[in-house]
């Protein structure tokens, strides 16, 4: 008989403890022990507790391979259902044999109801490194169980596939919000809803009376960035700067040849270009940029309060003035088809004509951002990465109701974009070069994003170097290859022209791929999500819908027609409420580089501390730069970036 000491750590979160009974079976190379109860006088497994138990094995099972954990409700008659299902969050088990060093078995999972869970000792191993049949069998059984629990479905034709669940309520506890996070989210949303309701705005279906009246809602929990937007939203330089550092900094690209369907002339833009130059000269210098919303052409639109909404597909050339001057808009065409009913609007036009044209561009930016940059690229693709990870990598592996387009329009826009989506757009250094914005001044999304990408890439590279000594070791990891293959098939619908790999052949390819996944699910999401309320709190800066059609002639816009074009009062409030919630992290935060769960135990030549120190250095540099900016760019400051998409 051999006596082992078992140490158990229970999570600290609300509800992490349990009244259920827990036992373990020790699995070794020579057999498996019977169930060994972990029992003291009084209650065990309270939240935050670390407890020691002595267990006696009746016979030797050989070197330890696995730990099987069993959880059962107490043997009481007429046991209430909540007690029978009592969930427990276990952090880890530590098993100390009579002789030798202790084994740590990371868990970090909720165990709900009666059942068993098999844990491995915390040394990370890729599939080809497991040479014992029992360990190989455990990997296969874990993945089979996960693949049965987490299944795919096609939510909409042409969309990336997603988790096959009808409601958040049906999700497994391990992928739900924590109780505290969930409570904070609903408390924040409820208090904001009540505030809008008391002001009598949520039920008003008519248009705003004036821009001055809109100030009533602008004071709803405004931020310093929102205040700056309110003060500068009509300025051309601010309008242009939002394509560099606003919600959608991924669409602007250098223009070396104006589109044939945009017949702008030197005379039209002379007031912006200034003397001694021309469009052709600036095109050759690389100082002209283009924002093209052509993907929005002929979109189906929403109906709000019984009124059809309208959309446009504008083209907006921008000019980077020399000697560090501001980026400025040159002209705006609100459709992809030039002609007498599609005039080119200019900064020299009547004030309200030009402001209305810019506002149509902002509405297009809202639709593109919410459907594609935010929903598709950040959420739908990240769900693909997450679900494929749950289904293909075992624990021991190392690695819209009030918008102008509506749900139907968003779906159509996502289908269109999926046909164009490519790998390079998701890899920041490649995307920056492809769009030709490496040198445009004042692009803080690029500057900060490249630093974050570099820090993540180095961290990933060091880890890959430890576990994959050669290109062949990458090719031979069947779990890794299955993960990549599933992302290709379920996320990118087997589109070869997407450039997304369906397999990985080299360590360098693996480093880039994993860096892309981490960056997409953390920094990129922060850049396109955290500032939503800042940009939309003053609604004319980013209107979610437009109630009148795009103008087909000049000299028609007035202050009254401008306001009538904007979304109605209740739709404005719906969107601002939603974006305020989406911009507020509801507690229980884990910034990028924070890994409180100790899943792996081995020492390696890489260090999480090194990664964290690099992120801290980046943060200091960003904060120092921001002190000299009228509008600080904070969305890629590492403490602001969540480790993963959590809202």
| Averaged pLDDT for residues 556-584 | 88
Query: What architecture is domain 2-121?
Result: Sandwich (2.60)
The fraction of the chain above a pLDDT of 90, given in percent, is: 62
**173-549+569-589 is a CATH 1.20.245.10 domain:** yes
Q: Is 525 annotated as a binding residue?
A: yes
pLDDT of residue 480: 93
pLDDT in tens, 527-553: 999 898 899 889 999 999 999 999 999
- Kindly state the tokens that stand for 155: 């939510």
Q: Is 124 annotated as a binding residue?
A: no
pLDDT averaged over every residue in the chain: 89
Q: Is 647 annotated as a binding residue?
A: yes
pLDDT in tens, 397-430: 544 436 667 777 778 888 889 888 999 999 999 9
The fraction of the chain above a pLDDT of 70, given in percent, is: 91
**Statement: residue 80 has pLDDT above 60:** no
pLDDT of residue 400: 42
Q: Is 198 annotated as a binding residue?
A: no
pLDDT in tens, 487-521: 999 999 999 999 999 999 999 999 999 999 999 99
pLDDT in tens, 16-64: 999 899 999 999 999 999 999 999 877 889 999 999 999 999 999 999 9
Q: What is the pTM of this model?
A: 0.91
**Statement: residue 606 has pLDDT above 60:** no
HEC-encoded secondary structure of 115-181: EEEEEECCCCCCHHHCCCHHHHHHHHHHHHHHHHHCCEECCCCCCCCEECCCCHHHCCHHHCCCHHH
Beta-bridge partners for 24: 36, 69
pLDDT of residue 248: 93
Residue whose structure tokens are 């791929």? 513
- Domain(s) of CATH 1.20.245.10: residues in the chain: 173-549+569-589
Output the DSSP codes for 310-361: B----EEEEEE-STTPPEEE--EESSSS-BTTB-EE-TTS-HHHHHHHHHHH
**Statement: residue 85 has pLDDT above 70:** no
Give the SS3 label for residue 566: coil
Name the residue with higher pLDDT: 345 or 418.
345
pLDDT of residue 595: 80
Q: Is 39 annotated as a binding residue?
A: yes
pLDDT in tens, 195-254: 777 677 788 888 999 998 888 776 667 789 999 999 999 999 999 999 999 999 999 999
Give the SS3 label for residue 265: coil
pLDDT in tens, 249-286: 999 999 999 999 999 999 999 999 999 999 999 999 99
Q: Is 17 annotated as a binding residue?
A: yes
- Domain(s) of CATH 2.60.60.20: residues in the chain: 2-121
CA-CA-CA-CA dihedral for 409, 415, 416, 421, to nearest 10: 130
Q: Could you tell me which residues come within 8 angstroms of residue 426 by beta carbon, excluding any fewer than 6 positions away?
A: 377, 381, 516, 520
Nearest to 362 by CA among 288, 251, 440: 251
HEC-encoded secondary structure of 494-524: CCHHHCCCCCCCCHHHHHHHHHHHHHHHHHH
Q: Is 132 annotated as a binding residue?
A: no
């Amino acid at each position: 008989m051999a006596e082992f000491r078992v140490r158990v750590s229970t999570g600290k979160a609300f509800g992490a403890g349990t009244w259920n009974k827990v036992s373990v079976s020790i699995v070794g190379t020579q057999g498996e022990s019977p169930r060994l109860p972990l029992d003291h006088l009084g209650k065990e497994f309270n939240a935050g507790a670390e407890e020691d138990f002595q267990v006696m094995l009746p016979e030797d099972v050989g070197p330890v391979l696995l730990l099987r954990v069993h959880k059962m409700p107490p043997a009481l008659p007429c046991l209430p259902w909540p007690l029978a299902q009592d969930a427990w969050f276990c952090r880890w088990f530590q098993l100390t044999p009579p002789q030798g060093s202790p084994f740590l078995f990371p868990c970090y999972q909720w165990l709900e109801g009666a059942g068993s869970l098999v844990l491995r000792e915390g040394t990370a191993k890729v599939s080809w490194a497991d040479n014992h049949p029992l360990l190989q069998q455990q990997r296969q059984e874990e993945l089979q169980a996960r693949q049965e629990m987490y299944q795919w479905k096609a939510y909409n034709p042409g969309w990336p596939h997603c988790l096959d669940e009808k409601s958040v309520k049906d999700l497994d506890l391990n992928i739900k919000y924590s109780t505290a996070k969930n409570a904070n989210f609903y408390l924040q949303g409820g208090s904001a809803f009540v505030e809008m309701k008391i002001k009598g705005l949520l039920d008003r279906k008519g248009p705003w009376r004036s821009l001055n009246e809109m100030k009533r809602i602008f004071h709803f929990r405004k931020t310093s960035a929102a205040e700056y937007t309110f003060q500068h939203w009509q300025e051309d330089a601010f309008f242009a700067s939002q394509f560099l550092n606003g919600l959608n900094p991924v669409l602007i690209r250098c223009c070396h040849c104006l589109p044939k369907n945009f017949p702008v002339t030197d005379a039209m833009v002379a007031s912006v270009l200034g003397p001694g130059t021309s469009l052709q000269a600036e095109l050759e210098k690389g100082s002209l940029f283009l924002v093209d919303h052509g993907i929005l052409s002929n979109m189906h639109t929403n109906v709000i309060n019984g009124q059809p909404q309208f959309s446009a597909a504008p083209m907006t050339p921008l000019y980077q003035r020399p000697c560090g001057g501001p980026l400025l808009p040159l002209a705006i065409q609100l459709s992809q088809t030039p002609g007498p009913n599609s005039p080119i609007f200019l900064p020299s036009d009547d004030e309200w004509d030009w402001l209305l044209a810019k506002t149509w561009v902002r509405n297009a930016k809202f639709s593109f951002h919410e459907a594609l940059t935010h929903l598709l690229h950040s959420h739908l693709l990240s769900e693909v990465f997450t679900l494929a990870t749950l289904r293909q990598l075992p624990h021991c592996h190392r690695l819209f109701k009030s918008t102008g387009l509506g749900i139907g329009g968003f779906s159509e826009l996502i289908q269109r974009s999926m046909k164009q989506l490519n790998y390079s757009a998701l890899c920041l250094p490649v995307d920056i070069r492809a769009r030709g914005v490496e040198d445009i001044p004042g692009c803080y999304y690029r500057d900060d994003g490249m630093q974050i990408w570099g820090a993540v890439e180095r961290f990933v590279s060091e880890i890959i170097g430890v576990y994959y000594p050669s290109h062949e070791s990458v090719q031979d990891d069947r779990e890794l290859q299955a993960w990549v293959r599933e992302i290709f098939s379920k996320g990118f619908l087997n589109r070869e022209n997407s450039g997304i790999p369906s397999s990985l052949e080299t360590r360098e390819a693996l480093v880039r791929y994993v860096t892309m996944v981490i960056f997409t699910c953390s920094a990129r999401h922060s850049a396109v999500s955290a500032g939503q309320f800042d940009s939309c709190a003053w609604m004319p800066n980013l209107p979610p819908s437009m109630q009148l059609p795009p103008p087909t002639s000049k000299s028609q816009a007035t202050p009254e027609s401008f306001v009538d074009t904007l979304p109605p009062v209740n739709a404005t409030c719906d969107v601002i409420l939603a974006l305020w919630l989406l911009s507020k992290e509801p507690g229980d935060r884990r910034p990028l580089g924070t890994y409180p769960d100790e899943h792996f135990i081995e020492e390696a030549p890489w260090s999480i501390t090194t990664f964290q120190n690099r992120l801290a250095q980046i943060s200091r540099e960003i904060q120092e730069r921001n002190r000299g900016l009228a509008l600080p760019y904070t969305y890629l400051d590492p403490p602001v970036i969540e480790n993963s998409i959590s809202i």
